[in-house]
Structures are given as structure tokens and as C-alpha cells.
Amino acid sequence: VKYLVQADGSLPNLALMRLARYYRERGETVRYVRGEGQRQLWDPPGEVLGSSLFKSSARIRESIEREWGPVRWGGTGVDVASTLREIDPGVDWDAVAPDYSDHPAEDRSIGFTQRGCRLRCEFCVVPEKEGRARTVSSLADIWRGGSAPRKLLLLDNDFFGQPREAWRARLAEARAGGFRISLLQGINVRIIDEEAARELAMVEYRDKEFHERVVYTAWDDLRDEGRFRRGVETLAAGGVPPKHLRVYMLVGFQEGETWEAIMHRFRVITGLGCEAFPMPYGDRPDLRAFARWAIRGMWRNVPWDKYRDRRKRASRRGGEEMARCA
Ligand code: SF4
């Protein structure tokens, strides 16, 4: 038996779905395991392969190892350089169709049209892990086919970083094939051009649940304000209004980052009519509270300092931590 263990991440794990296909096609019995506490007494022995996306999942990985014994780990949480080639270097893993059978509630098709990124943000593992931007799949390759909904969750880190003719072809494919796409990892608003904005506006882009019209993007470094503003303008001129932009904002990464600097970014993003989506780096309680305040829309009714003070009063210990961090 091959046990495929997903330690973290909210989406079905693409690498494990490819491994499931690979092993099942070779006649192996595969059992997918989600997180810790899943082992049954009657589970027969077998090889355990695990995937973990986040370094911060160390505790869960240890718990899984206590439960299952030695685990062959992959994923950026354990090794930025790990790839499925370690399992079989003779396989083109991007071309292995994921096996969705362990995820019966999942109706989206998940994949990458491209890998890599043109930029080099200091906190990010993508350039090191995936290298330069390049095309890997068409939308038709990613879609499961048959009666599956035409909902494609694209994990591309730099969709417009692939050659122009490639992204043009993908967006034309989306229009002609009636695909809705969610570019969950965000497009690079800092280097968007007019044609890309126009072409993007003509496809059915969605949030990851496929409920709303959302284009994900990011503004992580305060120094990029001018480029961010220009990118938002370019998208708006092309037909993607700011209200469709969900802007990830990394907080807590820059050493010495002040609350003034964080709030400035937040006000610019919301002032332009975009949605701010803070992503705390590390485990600071004040930044997690800020993310909740922003993402749940509380900012519309309660100013941040009032919200923060209320939390301080609610928990003396939490309040002390907050005062240290703020
Ligand atoms: S643009 Fe995104 S994917 Fe590219 S290096 Fe920066 S954070 Fe990473």
C-alpha cells in the first residue's frame, strides 16, 4: 500500500493527486490521508509519502511521523528543491493527469498553465523552485473533461510571464471553451500591460470558489506603490475594475515595518476600490488580528486602533503581546 499524506494546504494537493494516478496505473493500492489522526489499527503496513507546503507545519509533520513511522516527505515546506522527479526522473510529471477520485467533493480542475516567475521577491521560493517563467499546459490539458464543470483553478505564479503567444492562446481557449478561470496565486500587477489587461477583461475570471468576479494580485513592498497604482489603472482601462481586484498584502516580513506603513498600503488598496487581503508573515497575533479585521470587512465599521484596543481589553495577556508587537 502507498499512503499519500497531505499535511497542510486547503486545496487538494496536486503532487499527491499525480502520485495517486502514477501508482494506481502501476497496480498499487493507494490510500489518501488528510492530516494527522487518520491511522486506523487495521491499516496494513506500506510506504508513506507525504507532502507539506509550509515550513510552519513542522508540528503536524512530526505528529504524522509519530503516527505512521518514517515518511518520505516532499513539498516546499520541507525542501524548496523537492520535485516529483525524485520519485521517478523518467516521467514528465506536469503531463500526468491528477487523480481526483480521493476528492469526491471537488469539482474544479486544478493545474498550472505555466511555471516560474519573472520577478525575484526576497521572501518567495518560486524563482528558486521553478526558475524562469515557462508554459507547461493548455487549459484543455488541465480540464478533467467529460461532464466536469468548466471551472479551472490555475496555480500559476506568473500567468502573463509565459510568452505572449502562449497566454494569448490560453485566454482565447478560455473564451472559446467556455472555461471560467481562477488565478488564485495572483497576477503580477506591477508588470501588466494594456493588451494583457484587455484580454483578461474578456474572460470569466473568478474567485477560488467560483462565486465572484475576482482577479487576485499582490502589493507586498511599500516601495512598489507607483507601480501598483499604475497596474490598477492599466487593468481598469482594459476593463478589469478595481472592485474585482483582491490584493494580497504581505505584512510582517520587512524588518522594522511600522503600523503606519502597513496602514498606508491598506488605505491605498481600499481607497482605490480594491479588496485588501493581508497575509501575515510568521505568527504575530497582532498581524493575525489585522488580517481578520481586514478580510472579514470589519474595517468598514470599526477603525483598526479601536478594534485593536478592544482586543487588548478582552485579553490582558493578549494585550501585552499586542503592545510589544505594535
Ligand atoms: S511575483 Fe509572486 S511568484 Fe514572483 S517572485 Fe514575487 S511573490 Fe514570487
The model scores a pTM over 0.85:
yes
- Structural contact between residues 248 and 211, judged by C-beta atoms closer than 8 angstroms: no
pLDDT over 60 at 204, yes or no: yes
pLDDT of residue 184: 97
Comparing 315 with 180, which gets the higher pLDDT?
180
pLDDT of residue 326: 34
> Grid coordinates standing for 154?
490555475
- Residue range 72-96: mean pLDDT, rounded: 93
Q: Are strands 114-115 and 47-51 parallel, antiparallel or unpaired?
A: unpaired
pLDDT over 50 at 18, yes or no: yes
- Structural contact between residues 100 and 106, judged by C-beta atoms closer than 8 angstroms: yes
pLDDT over 50 at 156, yes or no: yes
Over pLDDT 90: what percentage of the chain? 87
pLDDT of residue 319: 45
Q: What is the pLDDT of residues 19-37, one digit of tens each?
A: 999 999 999 999 999 999 9
pLDDT of residue 299: 96
User: Which residue out of 80, 117, 183 has the highest number of ligand 1 atoms within 8 Å of its CB and is therefore the one to mutate?
Assistant: 117
pLDDT of residue 187: 97
3-class secondary-structure state, position 282 = coil
User: Which residue out of 130, 157, 183, 189 has the highest number of ligand 1 atoms within 8 Å of its CB and is therefore the one to mutate?
Assistant: 157
- Residue range 300-305: mean pLDDT, rounded: 95
- Structural contact between residues 89 and 81, judged by C-beta atoms closer than 8 angstroms: no
Phi, psi for 138 (deg, rounded to 5): -90, 170
pLDDT of residue 314: 76
Q: What is the pLDDT of residues 103-121, one digit of tens each?
A: 999 999 999 999 999 999 9
Q: Is 121 in the pocket of ligand 1 (CB under 6 A)?
A: yes
- Structural contact between residues 309 and 269, judged by C-beta atoms closer than 8 angstroms: no
pLDDT of residue 317: 58
pLDDT of residue 322: 42
- Residue range 273-279: mean pLDDT, rounded: 98
Q: Is 183 in the pocket of ligand 1 (CB under 6 A)?
A: no
CA-CA distance, 258 to 50, in Å (whole number)? 38
CA-CA distance, 141 to 177, in Å (whole number)? 12
If you count them, how many residues does the chain have?
326
Q: What is the pLDDT of residues 205-251, one digit of tens each?
A: 999 999 999 999 999 999 999 999 999 999 999 999 999 999 999 99
pLDDT of residue 324: 43
44: Cα separation from own chain's centroid: 34
Q: Whose CA is nearest to atom 3 of ligand 1?
A: 157
pLDDT of residue 323: 41
pLDDT over 60 at 325, yes or no: no
Residue 316's pLDDT band (boundaries 50, 70, 90)?
low
pLDDT of residue 104: 96
Give a three-class secondary structure readout of 198-231: HHHHCCEECCCCCCCCCEEEECCCHHHHHHHHHH
